[in-house]
Structure 1
Amino acid sequence: MNLKIYYFSGTGNSLAVSRKLEELLIEKGEIVHISNFENENSVEVDVDVVGFVFPVYFATIPDVVKAFIEKLYFKTNPYIFAIVTCNGVPSHSLFTLNKCLNAKGKSLSSGFVVDMPGNALTTPDEIIKERLKNSKNKVEQIAEYVNNRRTKELEGENNIKRHIESFVVSTVAKKLQFSPKKYSSTSECIGCGICEKVCPVQNIKMVDKKPQWENNCTACLACFHWCPKKAVKINKLISKRDKYHHPEVSISDMCLRK
């Protein structure tokens, strides 16, 4: 096994990108969800090619991805690439990831951005169709880079404006609009437990057939988008938007707690 792609996904966008890429790569290996290592103190990397695929949250890298990078122990000197999926604004995510890798004595050989439908802000239907179509073309381009071990400048913007932007968004939106107190279930909830199963950080527990949100939320909104009865309520802005998940990804693909 010479390849590992570590991914994190709430709506299935990053999972779909990981799958498509793996099909096109010469090196064969496996695709692994980052949450599988949540209870591990260290994660050994002993392959020739390593990839990270994850969404942009609050204009930066998700906390769960950052925590995962801190656990890595590299036994090899692999070709490392990363792909961020985003709703049109990658910000400085790839540069922040690279900084995390630098602390491990490693760096990204290449970094890419794939525009996808958003999980929080609504994406118009025509743009959803366009992005899903274009994403496959972009993944084909990425596969060419990885197969040939080519280096590429990181995509996105690494400037003070973007860092201030992510700080403000994280402070205001994450702590206020997406705080654990904002999450609840409506009377439409049937107690199926899907929200608990798709939660990548085990933040949801079913109590008397009703979901209870704890304090470890990563704001992936998987519970909101995958609820079959649209019974998850967060805040006024999010609760009014249409549900979305990648059309090539199923609930069973997302259920990390079987």
Structure 2
Amino acid sequence: MSIKICYFSGTGNSFFIAKRLNEYLANSELIPIVKALKDSKKEIEGQKIIIVFPIYALTIPIPVRMFLKETNFKNATYFCAIGTRLGVKFNDFKRIDKLIKPHKLNSSFIINMGSNDVKVKNYKCPSDLKIKELEDVALSQLSEITRIIENNEDSCDEDSNYIESLLYKDFRGKIIEWAVPKMMTFSKYIGGVNYFYVNTNCIGCGICSKVCLSQKISIHNKKPIWNKKTLCYMCYACVNYCPVKAIEIESIPGVPSYTFENDRYCHPYAKYEEIENQK
């Protein structure tokens, strides 16, 4: 029975999970979602389909939504979704279930990983010890996930291993949980976000353009330019893979940015070439 592990990863967390699953599951193949979106056939053949993605703004990234909506999953009989996150409660697997109809989502899982949201105040890049702790827990989860997938089991439990709850536990929390994913959806029609800029540290290496999965970044006179008309996937690969911390995020109303004083994060097992190869 063939297994297709379809993944999207900006700074390596989801790539790490997808790669390990590929090692655990016999007859499995890794499918980069960004590359699949460029395929004119828009068809994936496999009995078991596993979707691995990072959770952005309490929801599923735009390219993952596009992939699920546009792709014909020929001969698929089992679907599994795995979201990686920094720890905030997540309740949007139902969106995947809707996007893959007439198929259904058989199992869903959430794995806590290091945070790449380097714009927040007092951000602390995970230490080697913290990353090892997260990795040990993730690999333990993957062992059980592998068993569930191999046995075609249904497993869609409510999120219970979150580290951070929503800011409010009353009706305001419900409003946030409803509104933030809506904002992500709306961003598709305005080119995503356009709040990146380059500081004087830039050495013109071009890595930011190489890891930009939406191809929003081009290099002119050895400096990155973000095309405002191109949809940003909001993966923060350009920010986090820059070797000299030259790329910053501007503050926007209601969302101050502190990248100028924070470190950067990418998964230690994911080189920038592996992120680039998704294209």
TM-score class, shorter-chain normalisation, is 0.7 to 0.9
Given the superposition, is the C-alpha separation of residues 80 and 239 from structure 1 closer, same or farther in structure 2, using an over 3 Å criterion? farther
Counterpart of 1:230, as a letter, is: K
Partner secondary structure for residue 258 of structure 2 = helix
Q: 2:179 aligns with which of 148, 167, 170?
A: 167
Match for residue 22 of structure 2? 22
Match for residue 68 of structure 1? 67
Counterparts of residues 5-154 of structure 1 (less than 5 Å): 5-26=5-26, 28-102=27-101, 105-120=102-117, 121=120, 122=123, 125=127, 127-154=130-157
Counterparts of residues 213-252 of structure 1 (less than 5 Å): 213-215=226-228, 216-235=231-250, 236-252=257-273
Q: Is the 8 A contact 1:193 1:209 kept in 2?
A: yes
Counterpart of 2:177, as a letter, is: E
Counterpart of 2:34, as a letter, is: S
Counterpart of 1:132, as a letter, is: E
Partner secondary structure for residue 93 of structure 2 = helix
Q: Is the 8 A contact 2:216 2:226 kept in 1?
A: yes
Counterpart of 1:135, as a letter, is: A
Q: Is the 8 A contact 1:86 1:117 kept in 2?
A: yes
Per-residue CA deviations over 1:118-167 (Å, capped at 9, x if unaligned) read 1115355465442222111111111111111111124438xx95574252
Q: What is the CA–CA distance in structure 2 between the aligned matches of 1:29 and 1:244, rounded to whole Å?
A: 29
Q: Is the 8 A contact 1:7 1:34 kept in 2?
A: yes
Given the superposition, is the C-alpha separation of residues 16 and 162 from structure 1 closer, same or farther in structure 2, using an over 3 Å criterion? farther
Q: Is the 8 A contact 1:8 1:33 kept in 2?
A: yes
Where does the alignment leave 5 or more consecutive residues of structure 1 unmatched?
none
Q: Does 1:184 align with 2:197?
A: yes
Partner secondary structure for residue 235 of structure 2 = coil
Number of residue pairs matched?
Answer: 250
Q: What is the CA–CA distance in structure 1 between the aligned matches of 2:155 and 2:72, rounded to whole Å?
A: 24
Q: What is the CA–CA distance in structure 1 between the aligned matches of 2:12 and 2:59, rounded to whole Å?
A: 18
TM-align CA RMSD: 2.6
Q: Is the 8 A contact 1:59 1:166 kept in 2?
A: no
Between 141-150 and 236-245, report the one with greater CA deviation: 236-245
Tell me the CA shift for residue 42 of structure 1.
4.7
Partner secondary structure for residue 70 of structure 1 = helix
Match for residue 215 of structure 2? 202
Q: Is the 8 A contact 1:4 1:31 kept in 2?
A: yes
Where does the alignment leave 5 or more consecutive residues of structure 2 unmatched?
161-170, 251-256
* Identical residues among aligned pairs (%): 32
Q: What is the CA–CA distance in structure 2 between the aligned matches of 1:116 and 1:22, rounded to whole Å?
A: 18
TM-score (norm 1): 0.87
TM-score (norm 2): 0.81
Between 125-134 and 81-90, report the one with greater CA deviation: 125-134
Q: Is the 8 A contact 2:34 2:278 kept in 1?
A: no
Partner secondary structure for residue 84 of structure 1 = strand
Partner secondary structure for residue 145 of structure 2 = helix
Tell me the CA shift for residue 241 of structure 1.
2.4
Tell me the CA shift for residue 232 of structure 1.
0.6
Q: Is the 8 A contact 1:43 1:71 kept in 2?
A: yes
Given the superposition, is the C-alpha separation of residues 185 and 57 from structure 1 closer, same or farther in structure 2, using an over 3 Å criterion? same
Partner secondary structure for residue 142 of structure 2 = helix
